[in-house]
Structure 1
Amino acid sequence: MHKFGDVILGAIFEMNFFTAFSELYFTSEPNDPICHGFDILGFRQAQTMAFAVDEINRNSKLLPNISLGYSLYDSCSDLGISFRAALSMTSGRGEPFQLNESCYGYPPVLAIVGDSSSTRSIAISSIVSLYRLPMVSYFSTCSCLSDRMQFPSFFRTIPSDAFQVRAMLQILRRFGWTWIGLLISDDDYGRHAAHSFQSDLAQSGGGCLAYLEVLPWEKNVAALQRIVGIMKKSTSRVVIVFAPESNMLNLMEEVVKQNVTGLQWMASEAWTAAKVLHTPSYMPFLAGTLGIAIRRGEIPGLRNFLLTIRPETIGSQDSPLVKRFWENVFQWSGPFKGQSCANLQRIAPWQLLYYLGRVNFTTHFGDQVSFDENGDALPIYDVMNWMWHPDGSTEVKNMGEVKELASKVDHLILDEDKIFWNFESKKPPKSVCSEMCPPGTRMARKKGEPVCCFDCIPCSEGKVSNGTDSTECISCPDDFWSSPQHDHCVPKSMEFLSYLETLGISLTTASLSGALLCTVVIGVFTYHRTTPVVRANNSELSFLILLSLKLCFLCSLLFIGQPRLWTCKLRHAAFGISFVLCVSCILVKTMDPQ
């Protein structure tokens, strides 16, 4: 599709999704591939661009005395065809392209809109960046395209997968889902999404993956059976899928065959709005799906244009963007060398690249449109819910939004009470590998399993844990011990034998009586120390025995009454010394002098 104008914009849309190649006989030049399989969405997107160009041309305030044209190419969902289309637009659609003597020339198109596939955008942008030709994608979400070193002229109006992953993590945290299954498509889109998901999940510490499987592009029955078998055996109840709707169609056929129910599906923007999946055979399994969708807004006049394939007037629109752009273009002071401005009759792609980086305006439905330093649009997604009504009808309903605030913090707004859950309880499911460890226990990882799979081990004596999912138990202070539940420390209770108790009085009386008796005997021995009986009895050892016995009786008093620091230190030493002295004297006294 072509339209002539003073300034030509190129675009690549997927208006067919199958490609057939002619047989090669090696005797003649091969024919061009044949595209078939009409894609209504791609055709609608191409017509939308045509509508936008016509509306800009009709609005005298946007580009006065300048007309826009376009060259729209079909990618046929094929990398080779998309790549050839991009080369055709940059070199002149096959016509001879001659440079002037100074070897300077301008490509036929000023910028390219597209592509819808991340893989094709990576390939195309790497080439058109050499021309400093701007490329603006409406559907390529791979986070790798934010690398300004590799893709210096790439922009997109859809948030990258990096933000989509963060948006999904917000939903996972909201419902406490930590045990997640992840399925990805076998392409750049799926692989980079998986890398972002694993990286952000590890940094947040909010969960782990039950399985990471790659969905085959073609309908590989054996691979799909193996993947669905893993899903059926897994204890994970939440499955996130980063894949186009064609992959989901193949997957759902096997899910229906094996009757895998009880799963909470989460859809990436690639298949959130896939009407082809809203069938009576799939909805018993997919009802209640939560999806991340591209921000939607109604474009005035577009519906009538698509129905009639004729442009309808929507009226002129004035915005700060238009004023700033034309003030810079038509005033004497410009942003380029020598304060020059771009000549709209001969504007260069690198000059348009300068203005694209400074786009900043607000749409009529309140969303701000601008590009950051990586060429990404301000991230915002709608959260969609697949509702299945009793009459069998289906509806994809907006339940909230996720957007990035000025503080670079992701903000989730979700109307949880209106979400349709495809479970008997009509409540969100539980998806955890191991239940939370209650206070008084600690987590012990299971060998060879992910970090969110663990056992709960009770804390040992003298140690406590006062929170859920504690990784270790904390020792109590010296004057405390653990409670029976091991969830907090309690002061050690002081129990002692009082002098006022019956047992205390009895022991005190016996101790004093024994000490008094020893004192009396010592007095008698002292009085009769010169008598033959005492002298023959080895009086020195007898006195030591009586003294040590007296001390042993008195040491018992140290174990009665409220403990003090000096009594606790003295009781064991005093009794041990006294008792050893007594026994030693007795042994010496009984030794045979021979």
Structure 2
Amino acid sequence: MTCLSWLFTLWTSSVPTLLLVGLMGRQLGFKVGLQVVHTVACSRWSAPSDQGLFQDGDVIIGGLFNLYYNPPVIDHDFTQLPYYKSCTGLQNLPLQYVYAMVFALEEINHSTTLLPGLKLGYRIHDSCAIPLWAVQAALSLIGRNSTSCDSTGAPEVYGKGNNKDNGLTSSLDQPVPVIIGGDSSVTAQILSKILAPFSVSYTASCSCLSDRTEYPNFFRTMSSDFYQARAIAQIAIRYRWDWIGTVAINTNYGLSALKTFQEETEKEGVCVAFMEIMNRESIVSDSRRAALTIQASTAKVILVFAWYTDVWELFLQLAELNVTGRQFIASEAWSTSGDILQDITVRNVAQGVVGVAIRNSNIPGFDKYLRGLNPSQRPNDNFLRQLWKNLFGCSPVAAPFVTYSYSEASLPPCSGTESLQGVQHPFTYTSELRVTHNVYLAVYAVAYALHNLLCPSRDSPLGNNSCSILKDIKPIEVLQQLNQVNVTTPQGENFYFHGADIPAKYDLVNWQTTPEGSLKLVLIGRVDGLDIHLNESAIQWSTGTNQVPVSVCSESCPPGTRMANRKGEPICCFDCIQCADGEISNKTGSIQCERCPLEFWSNAGRTACVHRQLDFLSFNETLGITLTTVSVSGVIVTTAVFVVFLHYRQTPVVRANNSELSFLLLVSLKLCFLCSLVFIGRPSVWSCRFQQAAFGISFVLCVSCLQIKTMVVLAAFRSTRPGAEALMKWFGPGQQRGSVCIFTVIQVRVIICVIWLSFSPPVPQPDFQIAGLKVTLKCAMASVVGFSLVLGYIGLLACTCLLLAFLARKLPDNFNEAKLITFSMLIFCAVWVAFVPAYVSSPGKYSVAVEIFAILASSYGLLFCIFAPKCFIILLRPEKNTKKSLMAR
């Protein structure tokens, strides 16, 4: 066993606890908890600290508590067997837990209904918050004839040479069937893996411990972290905190709870801004790093899963950096920490903390019991002696076998009048019994299981028959009975185990600032299983008011915009993009915009769909007035030319240019100018039909006249050739009028009247395909073929006329209109060729304006190219308006 001592020394300094504890059993070849090997030398299976609290009894209950927080420095010089000195730094709350266990056992021992006739004893050790030391302490609890070592390393056997009065009796050699502990999830996992006796933990909350296949001999009176993590997730979702920073201790407690929180919130769109993991071994540097991260982050809500001493160090670092205004969400491990609440240094940092806490309960008589404790009545109680030393600065009288430490020897002896009555101290503070009540419940759960096992009345756990121990108690027997415990505690609380767990019950607490400037703990709600009940009006947030803090990566997109995720960033970080034209979003935080129906369009703010306004080319607008003016001017000019030709109809210029066709051409041009007016104004059924009919007839009549004039010119000059007299018979005045009528009738009768306007006429219809609040009301072409035939027929006549005029361009100038017709038809064709793409690409009412412009441009081209030179001669050069001049070459 000497080598075992060295193994423990090496494990403490270099090897992970879980791995090497498993290796220990395999290498040494024994089953822990069933047998402890004896040796003459100091066994070293005793607790790391030689301090403990012991009481004789028929059944011994073990206890492991994290009483001291400062482990000693171990010298690994390999010159002698290592000796584990006691830890230092007594903690007040864990000490209260110890006496809650003692109080519950004494209460049970005095009960006439629970385990009558039997006395429960205890062996309580300190684990010093180190899992490996907790294992050593647990091994000393379950072993027979266990030994401890004195300050020199010599063996010291409990139960030999000691009497019952000093609390170290032969009953301490009994194996412990159950342990109240350990104090953390890591310790509980180790104990459950390597010990045959089962443990009932009062603070181990890792959700992993609920797995009965992995931890079949583990129970707890502490709720699983799954429930507190889920409750915190519900709070985050309720207040729409989607950008949360997290800080966790690097243990199963912190990491598993953080994992549960993320799983519950991810599906609701909550993102983790950062995740800082702190290690107990390097808490100062890690908390400094976490504080700097919190300072730099835009997250205003910070979730912390850690032990209160770790959070205290983190808050000290934040206070040094002057980081305030953060809303901290506390896990149950520090949400009720009086040490942090009372520290004025971190007051500004900790203001407004909202947290989950273990359900507060009352233990009747416990306050009186605590205040009645006195070292004079418990001379072997080293824990109480240490408390007295810290509180009153004196050294109580020790029992004969208890040695003084150097620090105690330097203190004056106590007068014996010192008392806890009226002392305000965390140890005596009993209005907030949370973990303390968990310890109390754990003891009662074990007592009821032992009652069912050892008492002869099996029908009722509260039978009055005396109980007796006929043989050694096997832990597996107690475990089986504990699975079936379902009783009511003295406080009237129903208590039972569901697997390893009890029903989850939490309080929701808030750290509020008092008028004096200090912080106080206020109850704001509760958690029952998966249900959360919260009094929102009672909360004081980190802002010092009831105004809920906002913690988002990006502000919610207002109505009229949509969220657009930023590349490479969490989904909570996004930009707000305005909805496109014709799309709206009428609520905050829209993921996408909705398209308005055809009859509607988005308003300026993109928040609602409004009816689209009908729009058309009106006589009242600038464009309509301009086109009307140009059209009317064309009619006036054409009329003026008509009057001039009519007045000078007997002159050579008029007569030489086929005056009858000229007058008919002027009439058709006037109709062309007038038909453009039909396109202006609100379209109606009849205006849509009339405008296309007027347009087609006017231009066919116009182009037909030009074509006949060209043909007449060609025929006249060719008639001078021998045998061409018969040709002129086909181009007399009657034939000319007939040809014009035929060309026009083809357009009117066959295409427009019969086919197009009868079967598929244009109808007024809003053009919803054009984007915008204003929708154009125009004459929709029900048959594009009909409109194409109209233009095609006009184009065919125009091209034929242009070709004939081109052939006649070299005839004598004085008698030749061919050049004028050629220029006019070139302009006409150019305008209407350019019209097609311009019409198609023009939006809304501007397509109508393009058609009107084409009509006016081609009409003015024909008017000026053909009649301007003639009017110039008639009015300004009358000397040339003679037959002699016209006949001259």
TM-score (norm 2): 0.56
How many angstroms does 1:40 deviate by? Answer: 2.0
Distance 1:258 1:46 in 2: 38
The alignment's C-alpha RMSD in Å is 4.1
Local SS of the residue matching 1:249: helix
Distance 1:477 1:343 in 2: 86
Letter aligned with residue 200 of structure 1: E
Distance 1:449 1:550, change over 3 A: same
Letter aligned with residue 580 of structure 1: G
How many angstroms does 1:447 deviate by? Answer: 2.1
Describe how 1:563-578 pairs up with structure 2 within 5 A. Answer: 568=780, 570-578=782-790
Partner of 2:308: 245
Distance 1:172 1:367, change over 3 A: farther
Say whether residues 1:150 and 2:214 are aligned partners.
yes
Distance 1:175 1:15, change over 3 A: same
Partner of 2:654: none
Contact 1:496 1:562 in 2 (8 A): no
Distance 2:694 2:83 in 1: 124
Say whether residues 1:532 and 2:730 are aligned partners.
yes
Contact 1:514 1:553 in 2 (8 A): no
Partner of 2:228: 164
Letter aligned with residue 316 of structure 2: E
Say whether residues 1:271 and 2:334 are aligned partners.
yes
Partner of 2:746: 547
Distance 1:324 1:204 in 2: 47
Say whether residues 1:200 and 2:264 are aligned partners.
yes
Letter aligned with residue 78 of structure 1: I
Partner of 1:401: 526
> 1:422-452: CA deviations, max 9, x gaps?
4265522211111111233221112232221
Contact 2:599 2:612 in 1 (8 A): yes
Aligned pair partner of 1:445 in 554, 558, 565: 565
Distance 1:298 1:441, change over 3 A: same
Letter aligned with residue 46 of structure 1: V
Partner of 2:78: 26
Distance 2:315 2:238 in 1: 27
Letter aligned with residue 253 of structure 1: L
Describe how 1:382-461 pairs up with structure 2 within 5 A. Answer: 382-404=507-529, 410-423=530-543, 425-461=545-581
Aligned pair partner of 1:371 in 487, 494, 497: 497
Distance 1:154 1:586, change over 3 A: same
TM-score (norm 1): 0.82
Aligned pair partner of 2:486 in 353, 360, 383: 360
Contact 1:217 1:247 in 2 (8 A): yes
Contact 1:252 1:282 in 2 (8 A): yes
Letter aligned with residue 508 of structure 2: V
Distance 1:485 1:29, change over 3 A: same
Describe how 1:473-512 pairs up with structure 2 within 5 A. Answer: 473-478=593-598, 480-489=600-609
Local SS of the residue matching 2:345: coil
Letter aligned with residue 519 of structure 2: T
Contact 2:701 2:740 in 1 (8 A): no
> 1:485-512: CA deviations, max 9, x gaps?
4344456566679999966587776666
Local SS of the residue matching 1:456: strand
Distance 1:236 1:85, change over 3 A: same
Letter aligned with residue 730 of structure 2: P
> 1:362-384: CA deviations, max 9, x gaps?
446565422223x1111111111
Local SS of the residue matching 1:20: coil
User: Which stretch of the first structure deviates more once superposed, 358-367 or 189-198?
Assistant: 358-367
Contact 1:295 1:380 in 2 (8 A): yes
Distance 2:604 2:366 in 1: 71
Gapped regions of structure 1 (runs ≥ 5): 97-105, 312-317, 335-341, 405-409
Contact 2:699 2:794 in 1 (8 A): no
Partner of 2:181: 114
Gapped regions of structure 2 (runs ≥ 5): 1-52, 148-156, 158-172, 379-443, 461-467, 619-677, 709-727, 768-778, 808-889
Say whether residues 1:62 and 2:114 are aligned partners.
yes
How many angstroms does 1:212 deviate by? Answer: 0.8
How many angstroms does 1:241 deviate by? Answer: 1.1
Aligned pair partner of 2:277 in 198, 206, 214: 214
Contact 1:549 1:582 in 2 (8 A): no
Partner of 1:314: none
Distance 2:453 2:180 in 1: 26
Partner of 2:137: 85
Local SS of the residue matching 2:235: helix
Distance 2:104 2:695 in 1: 114
Distance 1:19 1:224 in 2: 20
Q: Which has the higher helix share?
A: 2
How many angstroms does 1:124 deviate by? Answer: 1.3
Contact 1:288 1:420 in 2 (8 A): yes
Letter aligned with residue 371 of structure 1: F
How many angstroms does 1:182 deviate by? Answer: 0.8
Distance 1:218 1:466, change over 3 A: same
Letter aligned with residue 515 of structure 2: P
Letter aligned with residue 229 of structure 1: L
Count of residue correspondences? 557
> 1:438-488: CA deviations, max 9, x gaps?
233221112232221111112223333343322222334555544444344
How many angstroms does 1:148 deviate by? Answer: 1.8
Contact 1:551 1:575 in 2 (8 A): no
Distance 1:420 1:402, change over 3 A: same
How many angstroms does 1:156 deviate by? Answer: 1.0
How many angstroms does 1:185 deviate by? Answer: 1.3
> 1:272-300: CA deviations, max 9, x gaps?
12221122221122122112111111101
Quick check: which has more Rg, 1 or 2? 2
Say whether residues 1:280 and 2:344 are aligned partners.
yes
Distance 2:174 2:289 in 1: 50
Partner of 2:474: 348
Say whether residues 1:582 and 2:582 are aligned partners.
no
Distance 1:553 1:384, change over 3 A: same
> 1:547-586: CA deviations, max 9, x gaps?
236778777994454689xx85624331112211321243
Distance 1:323 1:125, change over 3 A: closer
Distance 1:143 1:323 in 2: 24
Aligned pair partner of 1:176 in 240, 251, 271: 240
Contact 1:163 1:379 in 2 (8 A): yes
